[in-house]
Amino acid sequence: MRQSIYLFAVLFLFSINLFGQQKPQKIYLNPDVIQGELVKVTGPLRDFVAPPFDGDIVKDEKLGYHPKSDWILNDSINPNAKPAGLDPAWQKSYAPPRGPVKALNQSYNGQGYSSVNPPDPAMDVSPVHVIQMINGSGGSTYQIYDRTNGNTVAGPTAFDSFTGINGAGDPIVIYDQLADKWLMSEFSSSGNMLVVAISQTNDPTGSWYVYSYTAPQFPDYPKYAMWPDSYVVTSNESSPAVYALDRDEMLIGNPGTMQRFTVPPYGTIGFQAMTPVDLDGNTLPPANEPAIVMRMADDAWDVNLNQDQLELFEFDIDFTTPANTTLTQTLTLQTASFDTHLCGYTSFSCIDQQGSGINLDPLREVLMNKIHYRRFPTHETMVMSHVTDVTGNDDAGVRWYELRRTTGDWSIYQQGTYSPDTESRWMSSIAINGDGSIGLAYNTSSATSFPSVKFTGRKECDPLGTMTEPETVMAQGTAANGSNRYGDYAAMSVDPVDGSFWFTGEYNPASQWSTIIGNFDIGTCTPQISFSTSSISVNEQDADIVSTCLDYLEVGVTISLNLPASIDPTVTLSLSGSAIQDVDYEAPSVLTATLTPTNLSETFVFKVFNDAYVESLEDIIVDYTLNANGGDATAGSSNQTLTIDITSDDSAPSNVSGTVVLVDEDFETNTLGVFTTDNPSGDTPFQVGDEATAETGPFDIPAPPIGTYMAYVNDDDCDCNQNQVDLISPVFDLTGAVGAELSFDYYYEDNTWQGDQEDADVYVSINGGTSYTQILDLPASSATAFTNEVIDLTPYIGEANVRILFRYSDGTGWLYGFVIDNVEITGDFINGVQIETNTAMPAEEYLGPNATVHFYDPTSDLIMLTITNNSTHDFGCTTVEVDRAGTTPTALEFNSAVVNDYVASKTFKITPDNASSSASYDIELYYEEAEILAWENTTGETRSVLDIVKVSGNNQISDVTPANAGSFDINYFNGTIGAFNSDVIISASIPSGFSGFGIGRPSGSGGGCTPGTNTWVGPLVGDWHASPVNWSLGVLPDYCHDVVIPNGNDIDISAGQIGKANTLDVVDGAELTVDVNGELDVIAPN
């Protein structure tokens, strides 16, 4: 975990960290320049007769276990290497295997057992021929086949029999598609020579130029690649070496020169070779783009490595002026963690075989032959692969990558680890064709199976990170190999004619291996339409766009065509589901789109309203219809319907406790927010950052479960005194609470280093932070994810000055760190009633047609009143306020000086944006029990006589006095008493109109009622309850009154009203009309 920077004499070094991607810019200057030699020009190979074998044995059979004597062995020297467990890129979903049932385009045995192990099979394909090379006991042998039928055209023949230089194997064959010529090579048995032959034409049975290039060290494991300006070769030497051969000269028969650099090795791994990048296709890289060489590195190899990575070098070659040539390590790409420690770095055997005690070499150290480069119209791409331990239990799988570059730097576009069952998979080769399809082939073996060859692949349109082609057997093994040496490589190529894939590899039809040559298709993507996902979940409370009183959040629904169709298709969305359009959400005005090559996807934006309606989980179901317009676009196989699930954050006033969020901090402002931090030593305290900022290689932090930013201590990065670093919450109040809870996400490894132990704890204070008590010693998280922890704070309810403190200690050593995110502290409180005025900050909610809305005080979250709209009228934004307080409850004078007629002190005002003179509604007013008792004690009345009183117009109850009551339109509505916890609800039906509201008994109706005749003296047409001044006694009629309606008057009793009387006399010529929802109650009717 300790980090150092090496300075090499041949490079300049600086480093920039950018989102897990490092640009170290190690520049190597002044290459070795080696003059090549034209050994000979051969006659046509079609006429060549190989001389008898000279008996020069340069390779052994190597039966049993054979270490690689020239490769040093060390075990892992980084105990903190990742992953600690399962491979994080492990593909978990697979198509069922095909077995051998899929017909390969072609499949035939290549060259057979040659009395050596391993065979090192190499191969490439041109429009006419296939050439395979393998190791033989006297060096490499080649065989040329007809591409169309697999018939042998020439060979098998010892390569050195026509080069004239004794060879020792490790063959490579390349078809140079740009030049339409062939390259074959091996290294010499003595003299450290790279022996390279270039065909004079595209016919490999014609004549060849033979060259030799003498390396300063033995160039073991040479790998070749073609780039427009060079043939690039890498080799395993005392330090990894890379060579550039002058391609232009070699193609015309001149040897030219070879330029060489070496790069520093990793000390643990004895076998270290880089891998060159080979150009595929006829599309050239961007002008002056240097050749590329790559290397992988496992953080287990070196304590100075803080991540598993791919290293990218640019080889900028000048054959005219070698002093201008540079090799530059331009980029280091952090990968998903991988584990090359298959059976330990001290062993060259790991892969089980059925019925054998000999395990096979995993060849864990290199990116496998070849890395393929291809340029597309929109991007450049490279694919590569290597072996990794999938489970941490020596189960080998294939890790593969696709890198892309559009502009700027290369990045990992996708990566995955292929391991669909318990068999080991290794010795892979990968390629990408012009359709973007990827082919991957490899060996398989296990304790219950023999070494075989299988393949898979993916289309460009498939889900990223997955191989979707069912695994298919290319060659089924039937015996165990007699040697631990296997491979050491295989070869995958792309057919330059039809884009199919060609592979050669080793398998075991007997204890003596053979090779297979197979050709297969992956197929291409068909134009298919699908939504980007099948479901989206949203919560109304996440509305972030302010729009009067009806905030909303935008939800994008994206429908896409995976690739251009022959004719542009048209899609039209259709909507269904339990959510109501234009009530719960607003749909886009246009629900149709045409998908074109330049616009393959369309995003439709829905507005989901944060209304105040109490609703269960609702959904919007989005379907589509396709009009292919005569083209080839079809519906996809997945994501054909998209469901938007909407969770409401609203609740009805409850007779149980409600949860209140007291502290909520997710650090998404990239600050500590409401938290503070302290490090008594004065060194680095808690900081805030994203994953890339917070982590280092030894302290490898997983992605946070929600959001981007987190609070963290990274002791590894700081290397300072972090023995007591605190993250401190604000004070919160638990008085009145009946329960409380702390929830947070954390990542912590609970590690030791050199005898020091790190520690992470949670503390609580009930005195505002003067002193703290530990409540939890945090355990280690899993290696790959944050842990969510929930702590019961019920023991601290009733306390007014509570704080939470998170503490990290590094034990005075140099340890790792601690990460905190998504801290939430909640309290459970009995739901209460608003009694204070809130005219400065009233509640404002949207009251739509037939809607029920509960109005809570926006500050205290206490209930004020509930309105149920019984009409189709849209009241729009409706403001509710307590305009007179009930904090000192009593009864106050209203429209009568009679104490019995006083109203409760707390009153309300309701103001809608869209008033109506005819829309009816029900209303519930909430009062504390103490408010009702105070009214009863003041008036001498009982709550059973309480009605809801409304003063119409833009008026408040407090505007009315006995002196001016006649100038107001005052109505009483029959009240119904209900309970809310220990408090009171008074409800009534209102025929129309919002204004000021309160509760009281109608004037003159209570214990102060004086019997007498109460005659209508108001206008000829009027409402019974309009005003007390309309009656001769100056009060509304009550049960002690004999009521008279004189001749010529037309009086109404409205909906929700009760006309009270002891007796009633409607004089001839007068009319009394009672609404169907009103009531006339006469004690002694005539």
What is the rounded CA–CA span in Å between residue 987 and residue 975?
5
**CA angle, 251 then 494 then 335, to 5°:** 105
256 with 384, same domain?
Answer: yes
859 with 880, same domain?
Answer: yes
| pLDDT of amino acid 14 | 33
930 with 1017, same domain?
Answer: no
Whole-angstrom CA distances from 170 to 103, 257, 518, 711 are 31, 22, 21, 53
- Pull the structure tokens for residue 236: 């395993």
What residues contact residue 689 under an 8 Å CB cut-off, 6+ apart? 670, 709, 710, 712
Average pLDDT of the residues in 936-959: 93
Closest CA to 697 of 2, 184, 136, 43: 2
Backbone φ, ψ for residue 231 (5° rounding): -100, 125
State the burial class of residue 793 (Cβ atoms within 10 Å of its Cβ: 0-12, 13-18, 19+). buried
Do the beta carbons of residue 819 and residue 711 sit within 8 Å?
yes
CA-CA-CA-CA dihedral for 44, 50, 54, 58, to nearest 10 = 70
Do the beta carbons of residue 106 and residue 431 sit within 8 Å?
no
Write out the DSSP string of 239-270: S-EEEEE-HHHHHTT---EEEEEE-PPPTT-S
Q: Domain for residue 87, yes or no?
A: no
Q: Judge whether residue 55 has pLDDT over 90.
A: no
Q: Domain for residue 58, yes or no?
A: no
Of residues 58 and 128, the one with the higher pLDDT is 128
- Band of pLDDT at residue 867, cut at 50, 70 and 90: very high
Do the beta carbons of residue 768 and residue 803 sit within 8 Å?
yes
Of residues 717 and 442, the one with the higher pLDDT is 442
Average pLDDT of the residues in 533-546: 93
Whole-angstrom CA distances from 215 to 33, 35, 194, 886 are 10, 10, 7, 97
Please report, rounded to a whole number, the percentage of residues in the chain having pLDDT higher than 70: 93
- CB atoms closer than 10 angstroms to residue 1069: 10
- Band of pLDDT at residue 1086, cut at 50, 70 and 90: very low
406 with 500, same domain?
Answer: yes
Question: Half-sphere exposure (CA, 13 Å, Cβ side) for 17?
Answer: 10
756 with 818, same domain?
Answer: yes
Whole-angstrom CA distances from 1005 to 99, 946, 1033 are 93, 11, 12
Q: Judge whether residue 79 has pLDDT over 90.
A: no
321 with 362, same domain?
Answer: yes
Mapped onto helix, strand or coil, the DSSP state of residue 301 is helix
| pLDDT of amino acid 98 | 67
Rg of the chain taking only CA atoms, in angstroms: 42
Q: Domain for residue 831, yes or no?
A: no
622 with 746, same domain?
Answer: no
Average pLDDT of the residues in 61-78: 59
State the amino acid at position 398 in one-letter form: V
Domain residue limits at 714: 664-824
How high does pLDDT run on average in the chain? Answer: 90
Whole-angstrom CA distances from 891 to 229, 672, 894, 929 are 98, 49, 9, 14
Q: Domain for residue 16, yes or no?
A: no
412 with 264, same domain?
Answer: yes
229 with 249, same domain?
Answer: yes
State the burial class of residue 802 (Cβ atoms within 10 Å of its Cβ: 0-12, 13-18, 19+). buried
CATH number for the domain that contains residue 993: 2.60.220
Please report, rounded to a whole number, the percentage of residues in the chain having pLDDT higher than 90: 75
| DSSP state at residue 79 | T
CATH number for the domain that contains residue 616: 2.60.40.2030
| pLDDT of amino acid 161 | 92
Q: Judge whether residue 813 has pLDDT over 70.
A: yes
704 with 763, same domain?
Answer: yes
Whole-angstrom CA distances from 1061 to 804, 1036, 1048, 1080 are 65, 10, 20, 8
What is the rounded CA–CA span in Å between residue 1005 and residue 1008?
7
Average pLDDT of the residues in 275-300: 96
Q: Domain for residue 14, yes or no?
A: no
- Pull the structure tokens for residue 503: 């592979």
Q: Judge whether residue 235 has pLDDT over 50.
A: yes
Closest CA to 187 of 223, 143, 155: 223
Q: Which of 619, 647, 675 is the last residue in one of the domains? A: 647
Closest CA to 644 of 589, 593, 607: 607
Mapped onto helix, strand or coil, the DSSP state of residue 296 is strand
pLDDT digits (tens, 9 = 90+) for 626-671: 999 999 999 988 899 999 999 987 888 875 456 889 999 999 999 9
State the amino acid at position 778 in one-letter form: L
Average pLDDT of the residues in 448-469: 94
What is the rounded CA–CA span in Å between residue 91 and residue 467?
8
- CB atoms closer than 10 angstroms to residue 899: 15
- Pull the structure tokens for residue 1008: 């102060």
Q: Domain for residue 815, yes or no?
A: yes
Backbone φ, ψ for residue 220 (5° rounding): -70, 150
| pLDDT of amino acid 208 | 97
What residues contact residue 47 under an 8 Å CB cut-off, 6+ apart? none
Is residue 102 reached through a cis peptide bond, with omega within 30 degrees of 0 on the bond before it?
A: no
| pLDDT of amino acid 1002 | 80
Lowest-pLDDT range, 63-72, 85-94, 241-250?
63-72
State the burial class of residue 1070 (Cβ atoms within 10 Å of its Cβ: 0-12, 13-18, 19+). middle
| pLDDT of amino acid 69 | 52
| pLDDT of amino acid 1083 | 72
- Pull the structure tokens for residue 1023: 């409402």
Q: Judge whether residue 127 has pLDDT over 60.
A: yes
What is the rounded CA–CA span in Å between residue 866 and residue 880?
10
| DSSP state at residue 696 | -
Average pLDDT of the residues in 423-433: 98
State the burial class of residue 840 (Cβ atoms within 10 Å of its Cβ: 0-12, 13-18, 19+). exposed
Of residues 959 and 654, the one with the higher pLDDT is 959
Write out the DSSP string of 716-785: HHH-S--SSEEEEPPPB--TTEEEEEEEEEEEE---EETTEE-EEEEEEESSTTSS-EEEEEPPPPPSSS
| pLDDT of amino acid 38 | 97
Closest CA to 312 of 276, 288, 364: 276
CATH number for the domain that contains residue 688: 2.60.120.260
Q: Which of 461, 492, 520 is the last residue in one of the domains? A: 520
Whole-angstrom CA distances from 66 to 128, 482, 1048 are 39, 11, 123
- CB atoms closer than 10 angstroms to residue 321: 7
- Band of pLDDT at residue 114, cut at 50, 70 and 90: very high
| DSSP state at residue 694 | H
Do the beta carbons of residue 668 and residue 683 sit within 8 Å?
no
Q: Which uninterrupted H or E stretch holds 938? A: helix 929-939
Q: Domain for residue 566, yes or no?
A: yes
pLDDT digits (tens, 9 = 90+) for 994-1026: 999 999 988 655 444 577 899 999 999 999 988
State the amino acid at position 608 in one-letter form: V
**CA angle, 640 then 646 then 651, to 5°:** 165
| pLDDT of amino acid 454 | 97
Lowest-pLDDT range, 67-71, 378-382, 650-654?
67-71
What is the rounded CA–CA span in Å between residue 1006 and residue 603?
66
| pLDDT of amino acid 1085 | 56
Is residue 792 reached through a cis peptide bond, with omega within 30 degrees of 0 on the bond before it?
A: no
| pLDDT of amino acid 1007 | 45
678 with 761, same domain?
Answer: yes
What is the rounded CA–CA span in Å between residue 440 and residue 456?
5
| pLDDT of amino acid 57 | 63
| pLDDT of amino acid 1040 | 78
- Band of pLDDT at residue 379, cut at 50, 70 and 90: very high
Do the beta carbons of residue 358 and residue 309 sit within 8 Å?
no
Do the beta carbons of residue 396 and residue 446 sit within 8 Å?
no
Do the beta carbons of residue 297 and residue 366 sit within 8 Å?
no
Do the beta carbons of residue 506 and residue 118 sit within 8 Å?
yes
Q: What is the total count of domains within the chain?
A: 5
Q: Judge whether residue 126 has pLDDT over 50.
A: yes
What is the rounded CA–CA span in Å between residue 58 and residue 56?
6
pLDDT digits (tens, 9 = 90+) for 820-858: 999 999 998 777 899 999 999 999 999 999 999 999 999
| pLDDT of amino acid 535 | 93
Residue with tokens 């749909």: 587
> What is the pairing mode between strands 528-531 and 501-507?
unpaired
- Pull the structure tokens for residue 941: 């009345």
State the burial class of residue 776 (Cβ atoms within 10 Å of its Cβ: 0-12, 13-18, 19+). middle
What is the rounded CA–CA span in Å between residue 162 and residue 159?
6
| Torsion sign (Cα): 27, 32, 33, 35 | negative
Closest CA to 1049 of 1033, 1066, 1032: 1066
CATH number for the domain that contains residue 449: 2.130.10.10
Mapped onto helix, strand or coil, the DSSP state of residue 968 is coil
Closest CA to 266 of 394, 366, 347: 366
Average pLDDT of the residues in 370-382: 96
| pLDDT of amino acid 1003 | 67
Q: Domain for residue 6, yes or no?
A: no
Average pLDDT of the residues in 870-876: 96
875 with 819, same domain?
Answer: no
| pLDDT of amino acid 767 | 96
Q: Judge whether residue 780 has pLDDT over 60.
A: yes
